[in-house]
Amino acid sequence: MSAVTTETATETAAVPAAEPVLEASGVVMRFGGLTAVGGVDLTVRQGEIVGLIGPNGAGKTTFFNCLTGLYVPTEGTVKYKGTVLPPKPHLVTQAGIARTFQNIRLFANMTALENVLVGRHTRTKEGLFSAILRGPGYRRAEAESRERARELLEFCGLGAKADHLARNLPYGEQRKLEIARALASDPGLLLLDEPTAGMNPQETRAAEELVFAIRDLGIAVLVIEHDMKFIFNLCDRTAVLVQGRKIVEGDRETVQNDERVVTAYLGAPLEGTTAAQEDGQ
């Protein structure tokens, strides 16, 4: 489908690329004295799969929360397709950003199908009265929603599990269900927070295929992962977050050959350049 563009951070501005979907600039998130995210810029373009990596506690999830309105960033702006996002989670989803959670947050006591139907919420309008009156319009919309939800379950490989309670699904399938639920809001950008955590190698392979398939639907993907193989197989571009700062961004070689990344992952202190220390003063 879309040509896989490999571009380094420095080239980004030079190459005439696809429309940006997400533009985060100078996002800062402080919790009291702790700066969890210290001024991160990130752009995701149409048709891209972008990776976000970094050691534990680097601020990746916090950054996601800032993008999706769960946290209101202390500083900085987030734009989706050129418009600044309102700091309310449901409005962000409405605008077109959907997400999954690192610690699975399904509606445990709803069936898989119902979970996906909840994901359709922003794309349907039927209110209280049409639900009570059950006119033909309502029936049609409800049938369409169910149809679409079943398609999405099928797409994520959960076709047979529609009527199972989410809590009774195996771990890997719960992660897939989170993706199906997120896709139900017809997003332009999908944020995946560690989608393969706890998966075995086969499941991880399947998840890779799924992410490619999602990209092929024209949905840009921003994915957090600790599994480097997964990230480098998948991503056109990867940003590395260490202690709230983006230290490198670029393709596989750029990231892998950067010695700051290596030191960060080996746990050696980044002498002098530590983001949290600078901000903490």
Partner 1 sequence: MTESTTHETSPVLPLPANLALGAAVGGGVLAAASAAMSWTWTPAFPGDLTYYGSPAGLQWLALVGGALTALLALAAHGLKGLRWLSPSGSRNGVLFAALGTFAVCWYAVVAIAVELDGLVNLDPGGWLAAVGSLLAVLGALGLPLDRRRTVRHPELHWGLYAALAVSAVLRVGFGQGWALDAVPPGIRPIFTENLWFFVVLPAAIALFRLWRLLDGRLRIGRIERPLPAARALPGWAEILVVTAVFAVGLGVVEFGVSTEYGELFVGFLLLTAFATAALLASGAVGRLRELTARHRAVTTGAAFAAAGAFPFTQSSETYVLIGTNILIFATVALGLNVVVGLAGLLDLGYVAFLGVGAYAAALVSGSKFSVFRDLHLPFPVAVLIGAAAALVFGVVIGAPTLRLRGDYLAIVTLGFGEIFRIAMNNLDGTSGPSLTNGPNGIAAIPDVSLFGFDFGEAHDFGALHLGKNGNYLLLMLVATAVVVTVFARVANSRIGRAWVAIREDETAAEAMGINGFRVKLIAFALGATLAGLAGAVQAHVSGAVSPDQYLFSSPTPPNSAFLLAAVILGGMGTISGPLVGAALLFLIPAKLEFLQSYQLLAFGVALILLMRFRPEGLIAGRRQQLEFHDVQLPAQAAPADDVPTKAGA
Which range binds partner 1 by CB under 8 A, 8-16, 90-98, 225-233, 237-245?
Answer: 90-98
- Judged by CB under 8 A, does residue 139 bind partner 1? no
- Taking the least distance from each CB to ligand ATP, the nearer of 168 and 273 is 273
89 binds, among ligand ATP, Mg ion, partner 1, none (CB under 5 to 8 A by kind): partner 1
Taking residues 23 to 62 in sequence order and writing x for each that binds partner 1 by CB under 8 A, - otherwise, the string is ----------------------------------------
- Judged by CB under 6 A, does residue 38 bind ligand ATP? no
- Taking the least distance from each CB to Mg ion, the nearer of 80 and 101 is 101
Is residue 248 a contact partner of residue 239, using CB atoms and an 8 Å limit?
yes
CB of 162 to Mg ion, least distance (A): 30
- Judged by CB under 6 A, does residue 66 bind ligand ATP? no
SS (H, E, C) 39-79: EEEEEEECCCEEEEECCCCCCHHHHHHHHCCCCCCCEEEEE
- Judged by CB under 8 A, does residue 121 bind partner 1? yes
- For strands 245-250 and 75-80, give the pairing: unpaired
Q: Which residue has the tokens 């750029």?
A: 254
| CA–CA dist 252, 119 (Å, integer) | 34
34 binds, among Mg ion, ligand ATP, partner 1, none (CB under 5 to 8 A by kind): ligand ATP
- Judged by CB under 6 A, does residue 59 bind ligand ATP? yes
- Taking the least distance from each CB to partner 1, the nearer of 99 and 245 is 99
Return the DSSP state at 159. Answer: G
Q: Which residue from 259, 220, 261, 226 is spatially nearest to 240, judged by alpha carbons?
A: 261
Inter-helix orientation angle 112-119/136-155, to 10°: 110
Return the DSSP state at 122. Answer: G
Residue among 34, 84, 108, 262 that touches ligand ATP (CB under 6 A)? 34
| CA–CA dist 209, 203 (Å, integer) | 10
- Judged by CB under 6 A, does residue 102 bind ligand ATP? yes
Q: What are the backbone angles phi and psi of residue 274, rounded to the nearest 5°?
A: -60, 125
At 276, which amino acid appears?
A: A
Which range binds partner 1 by CB under 8 A, 23-31, 111-119, 201-209, 263-271?
Answer: 111-119
With b for 16 or more beta-carbon neighbours within 10 A and e for fewer, the 120-129 pattern comes to bebeeebeee
- Judged by CB under 6 A, does residue 185 bind ligand ATP? no
**Contacting residues toward Mg ion, per CB under 5 A:** 61, 102
**Contacting residues toward partner 1, per CB under 8 A:** 68, 70, 88-90, 93-94, 98-99, 101, 105-111, 114, 117-122, 124, 126-128, 131-132, 134, 138, 142, 145, 163-165, 167-168, 181-182, 184-185
